[in-house]
Amino acid sequence: MTVTDYVVVGAGVAGSLVAARLAELPGTSVLLLEAGERLADGPATRDPARAADLWGTEADWADETVPQAGLAGRRVRWSAGRALGGSSAVNAALWVRGNPADYDAWGAYGGANWNRRSALDAFRRIERNDRVPASQAGMDGPLPIESGAPNAWSAALAAAAHDLGLAPTDVNGARQDGVDTLQLTARSGLRVTFADAFLGSGGASRAGDLHVVTGARATGVVVEDGRAIGVTYRDRDGSARRAAARREVLLAAGAVRTAHLLLLSGIGPARDLAAVGVRPLVDLPGVGRGFHDHVALGGVVPAPASAPPLPDGGGGVVVFARADGRPGVPDLEIVLAPGIPGTDAGSTTPELRFGVVALQPRSRGSVRLSSSDPLAAQPIDPGYLTDPTDTDIATLTAGWNLVRRLLGSPAAAAVATAPPPPIDAAGVRHTAGPMFHGVGTARFGPEGDPDAVLDGELRVRGVAGLRVVDAAAIPVVTRGHTMAATAVIADRAAALIAAAHGDAAHRDAPHGDTAHRDAPQRVAVSPTRAAEPRRCRPRPTK
């Protein structure tokens, strides 16, 4: 049995950041457990434009939702990274912070810890942004943010946006609405995952004691006398193992698996847990509720034979706007990028791909258990397009029509032969799908909020020594890609944990050598001895 100060479950966006930060604290030991493995370098793993090549592979949890009533009864794929770096190892690497107003809105749920200023401070510690000199903005963090180079494709699309009154902007700046080139977590066009940035090519922080174990699938949180004292997991050979935490257990397994781990551990709606054979320890009705994701439409239009050559590193743009056409805080995102049809299409002529994203969906779903078996597939129900007002459908329809106007502009003729055809509500239901930006399954909220699983410091209510430090904690999804929002959660978590354990000097400090370290170190991976978990004594349910 391994014993460390902290046990972190999940080496994705949140887990990589939190584990690295805590390991830098003097005299602090951290164990980081990851169900997946380190991905081998190759075109598919390093080229963000080839992210879809990784879906359905061993690097992807490759889940599926339950039939979605709002999507005409369809089941849809639910992808999440199962690798060092988590979803930052398999996504499109787009870095969109979200609107500053989003982080102020979190303050209504979590108090003074959450606002636009604390989010900006987090980004300054995390990012190394090629648009903003570090000497001016303090953005000298370990994660490189790279903007696409100007090219004929992005110029044509930006001109089309300008024709519609959409001004150039920095979508990660003070004003989000407008048109911008895509920004990626990349260096020289190659993907940089959170594990790359915070753990190096995978090892202990130079200043601390961090041990990373891959192929370790967490199966539950061990709770004794109302306190989390460790986790159980299966190693890559399927053997049962246990890791003990002297201080805290930190869940960073993603919105779906963090919720499942809480439920499997007896933390959740007591009646529902008992119905599937899980002994309730703490009755928290909000666990698994409030699940939501950005819902999106996608499409492709042919490019003309005279289209410019495809640029290296992609050549797309992103547009943020309002469905009602007014200026202000957006509720729509439009991504437009060139590509080549699949090899089975028999064509090498470029095409223009587009996505329409509803940024503030009203629909809500859930993550539940159907079995007490921690290795069994469990229900995932994002509840897409179930908002009774049909606002989500109206937003997507408005976004589709905006794409039609953009690609019908004369300026877009260089890269698109024609706009896509019109779409109606039935078409939206039959074609909409996920963005894999799931949040809210263990959200924070004020005392007395019946659906709040966490307090404003990300501590699980009713269980000492247990925090959720990932996207599950987010109360309302941001108007951006949740890799960035999850990093804010993790950055704040690291500061709160350090302060709680007497390391106040690190509360808001940059992360030392890690921020300037480009040369990665090796992951230290060693097997742990199997040990039977101690029996958990149940606490009275609330």
- Any idea which residues carry the catalytic annotation? 437
252 φ/ψ angles, rounded to the nearest 5 degrees: -140, 40
DSSP run (H or E) holding 485? helix 482-500
Q: Are strands 127-129 and 143-147 parallel, antiparallel or unpaired?
A: parallel
List, in sequence order, the alpha helices (H) in 50-205.
100-110, 116-126, 134-137, 152-163, 194-199
* Gap between the Cα atoms of 97 and 123, Å rounded: 8
Residue 360's contacts (CB-CB under 8 Å, 6 or more residues apart) are 331, 395, 476, 477, 479
Q: Is the dihedral of CA 363, 475, 176, 308 positive or negative?
A: negative
Distances in Å between the alpha carbon of 165 and those of 156, 177, 325? Answer: 15, 11, 10
Given the structure tokens 């097997």, which residue do they identify? 527
Nearest 5°: the CA angle 337, 341, 347 is 130
Nearest partner of 480 among 235, 271, 172, judged by Cα? 172
Q: Are strands 183-187 and 190-191 parallel, antiparallel or unpaired?
A: antiparallel
Nearest partner of 198 among 39, 70, 42, 85, judged by Cα? 85
Residue pair 140/134 in contact (Cβ under 8 Å)? The answer is yes
**Residue type for position 2:** T
> Any idea what DSSP says for residue 508?
S
**Residue type for position 350:** P
> Any idea what DSSP says for residue 215?
S
Residue 265's contacts (CB-CB under 8 Å, 6 or more residues apart) are 220, 221, 222, 223, 281
C-alpha Rg value of the chain to the nearest Å:
23
Calculate the CA 242 to chain-centre distance: 27
Residue pair 303/354 in contact (Cβ under 8 Å)? The answer is no
Residue pair 286/299 in contact (Cβ under 8 Å)? The answer is no
Question: Two tokens at 83?
Answer: 């690798």
* Gap between the Cα atoms of 114 and 478, Å rounded: 13
Residue pair 177/321 in contact (Cβ under 8 Å)? The answer is yes
**Residue type for position 247:** R
The interaxial angle of helices 13-23 and 482-500, nearest 10 deg, is 30
List, in sequence order, the alpha helices (H) in 13-171.
13-23, 43-46, 100-110, 116-126, 134-137, 152-163
